[in-house]
Amino acid sequence: MKVAYFTMEIGLSENLPTYSGGLGILAGDHVKSSADLGVPLVAVTLLYKRGYFVQNLTPDGDQLELYPLFDPRAFMEPLPLKIRLNLYGRTVAVGVWKHNYKGMKSSVPVYFLDTDLSDNTEEDRLITQYLYGGDDHTRITQEAVLGIAGPQVLKRLGEKVSTYHMNEGHAAFLTLHLLNELGDIDAVRNLCVFTTHTPVPAGHDTFSYDLAREALGDFLPANIKELAGTDKLNMTLLALNLSRHANGVSELHGQVSREMFPGYDIGHVTNGVHHLTWTGPEFKNLFDQFMPHWREYPEVLATAHRIPDELLVQAKLKAKRRLINYVNSFTNAGLSEEFLTVVFARRAAAYKRATLFFSDMERLLNLSKVRVQFIFAGKAHPKDGAGKELIKEIIHEGMRYEGRLKLVYLENYAMWLGALLTAGSDIWLNNPRRPREASGTSGMKVCFNGGINMSVQDGWWREICRHRGNGWAIGDDEDTPDEETSQDFYDVLEDAVNTYYVNQAKWINIMKNSIAECCPYFNTHRMVKEYAEKFYL
């Protein structure tokens, strides 16, 4: 019997453009750790042949979105199988591709659903073409393909499923499919578990009932409003009502979710990262040498203090050199491997507050004098005008203080660049508006590469941070206004710069604590085991 993991996006490698950010990469890491641990899992997702988008930036800081066509044949095989769905009163054919992810103990098949088939109209061929493109109409259609065709694919392939795991509400139509099949709410609830990732009400997918009826017709049960909300069809409510377990992705996010959806029993499983994917070659070597069982048991990294200081410093320098070489060759920025390197890389969304950074230019320029350099990266969603303005603002600040502030904005933040940045950074900066970062995972990657987090106490970081012990905390364990956070941020950054240049022993100690305290827990081996023990069995 298997766990079927349903996800709207999946980031398995930079070779597959089927992810946009954290949610997808988490799904990929979930699959990888399951395969390493031998957890019997299959995954179902969509094949976006034009992916999310490739980001180019003009010299003036405008984001250009390119959608090159992806050829999947080197990474997956088409299966001789088609599901026919009734959508908008017409038939849409859904094809399936299989990618087999081989882990240390077992393989996990990942099924990619695809409507780009000659049976379909030109319009329907585009249903699965773009990730998070289009409007509500496209979105509900994609979610129908995932949630309604998905379980039928598994059945036709003979996969015996004992648990359906919905990664976010996008897949919640599968509960209605099961309800049609089994005719009994309790039977459906017994089969389903649900992970929510969204800490704000507006982030949860909702559709008008008019649109839902138009798209899905009598697939919707008569009591749909009891299951999914009276005003709109809320995918999160639907999933909550038809799951035997529900969880948020960090302790704080679990709390926030319970407040958002009172009356539901929502726990938490804090996210992790797949350590074998996100540890760069330099630290892989180091860990192999001093903690050889870390690949199978990342918890042994708790003994990171046995790594000799010189080797740790050398490994970090080597990883940083890879990053600096890349940046210099693309941007002419003349960054130095000797400078303290602060990286801010994440989705360009307003709540991530990238521009807090510039609120006191004098203090920032003073820091720049003492050899600090800053690297930014991140895509804005094509429809997020405010996000695009943020990118532009950062690039313009860089130009305005050219020569006085070492700052670059790199294009096309994606898995490959994410790995390079998390491996090469000394400090990984994160100042979201609390509690908007449900968990965050990029800072965990940093720990596996001897980097140090400097972050607001949100998501995963508030569960482990010890200020000036294993990294830096910006602010206390509470929600604070922007001005307060920005003052704290400069204080903390000045302290870190001082530590880096004046007290190397202390810096190395923080590096080691970051590895020893964060890595044993914030990995997907621990996370998948937790899901298996709490939710799958």
The DSSP output letter for 292 is G
Q: Segment near ligand PLP (CB under 6 A), from 175-183, 257-265, 382-390, 412-420?
A: 412-420
Q: Does 279 engage in binding with ligand PLP (CB under 6 A)?
A: no
Q: Say whether residue 415 binds ligand PLP (CB under 6 A).
A: yes
Stretch that binds ligand PLP, among 18-26, 91-99, 114-122, 229-237 (CB under 6 A): 18-26
By the rule CB under 6 A, 414 interacts with ligand PLP: yes
Q: Which of 9, 10, 16, 21 binds ligand PLP (CB under 6 A)?
A: 21
- Beta partners for 114? 95
Residue type at position 237: L
Both tokens of 424, joined, read 């090469």
Closer residue to ligand PLP (CB): 254 or 418: 418
Which region, judged by CB under 6 A, interacts with ligand PLP, from 17-25, 37-45, 56-64, 195-203?
A: 17-25
- How far is it, in rounded angstroms, from Cα 491 to Cα 468? 12
Measured from the CB atom, the residue of 386 and 399 that comes closer to ligand PLP is 386
- Crossing angle of the two packed helices 136-144 and 209-216, in degrees rounded to 10: 50
Least Å distance between CB 23 and ligand PLP?
A: 8
For ligand PLP, the binding residue among 139, 346, 381, 406 (CB under 6 A) is 346
DSSP letter, residue 428: E
Neighbours of 456 (CB within 10 A): 30
Question: Which residue type is seen at 119?
Answer: D
Residue nearest ligand PLP (C-beta atom): 418
Number of residues that bind ligand PLP (CB under 6 A): 12
Cβ proximity to ligand PLP: between 116 and 168 the closer is 168
Whichever of 405 and 427 has its CB closer to ligand PLP, that residue is 427
- State the nearest-atom distance from the C-beta of 420 to ligand PLP, in Å: 10
DSSP 159: -
User: Does residue 464 interact with ligand PLP by CB under 6 A?
Assistant: no
Residue in 3, 12, 25, 312 binding ligand PLP, rule: CB under 6 A: 25
Examine residue 432 and tell whether it contacts ligand PLP (CB under 6 A).
no
Pairwise CA distance, residues 484 & 37, whole Å: 44
Note whether 427 and 26 are within 8 A (CB): no
CB of 369 to ligand PLP, least distance (A): 29
Give how far Cα 263 sits from Cα of 240, 241, 256, 281, 435, Å. 10, 11, 13, 47, 21
CB proximity list for 368: less than 8 A, separation 6 or greater: 401, 404, 405, 406
The amino acid at residue 464 is I
Q: Does 441 bind ligand PLP (CB under 6 A)?
A: yes
First CA to last CA across the chain, in angstroms?
10
Phi, psi for 125 (deg, rounded to 5): -65, -25
Q: Of 72 and 418, which has the nearer Cβ to ligand PLP?
A: 418
Cα–Cα distances in angstroms (integers) from residue 113 to residues 1, 179, 310, 378, 423, in the given order = 22, 22, 50, 28, 33
- Cβ proximity to ligand PLP: between 179 and 342 the closer is 342
Name, in order, each residue with C-beta under 8 angstroms of 77's C-beta and a sequence gap of 6 or more: 97, 98
User: Which of these ranges, 76-84, 190-198, 439-447, 478-486, lies near ligand PLP under the rule CB under 6 A?
Assistant: 439-447
Name the minimum Å distance from CB 123 to ligand PLP: 31
Task: Please tell me the distance from the alpha carbon of residue 215 to that of residue 220, in angstroms, as a whole number.
Answer: 10
| Rounded-to-integer distance, Cα 392 and Cα 386, Å | 10
- Please tell me whether the peptide bond between 435 and the residue prior to it is cis, using omega within 30 degrees of 0: yes
Question: Could you say which residues in the range 491-510 bind ligand PLP, by CB under 6 A?
Answer: none
For residues 236 and 441, which CB has a smaller minimum distance to ligand PLP in the complex? 441
HSE (side-chain half, CA atoms, 13 Å) at 78: 12
Q: Which of 33, 163, 341, 442 binds ligand PLP (CB under 6 A)?
A: 442
440 near ligand PLP, rule: CB under 6 A: yes
413 binds ligand PLP (CB under 6 A): yes
Q: Is 51 in the site for ligand PLP (CB under 6 A)?
A: no
Q: Which residues bind ligand PLP (CB under 6 A)?
A: 21-22, 25, 346, 413-415, 418, 440-442, 445
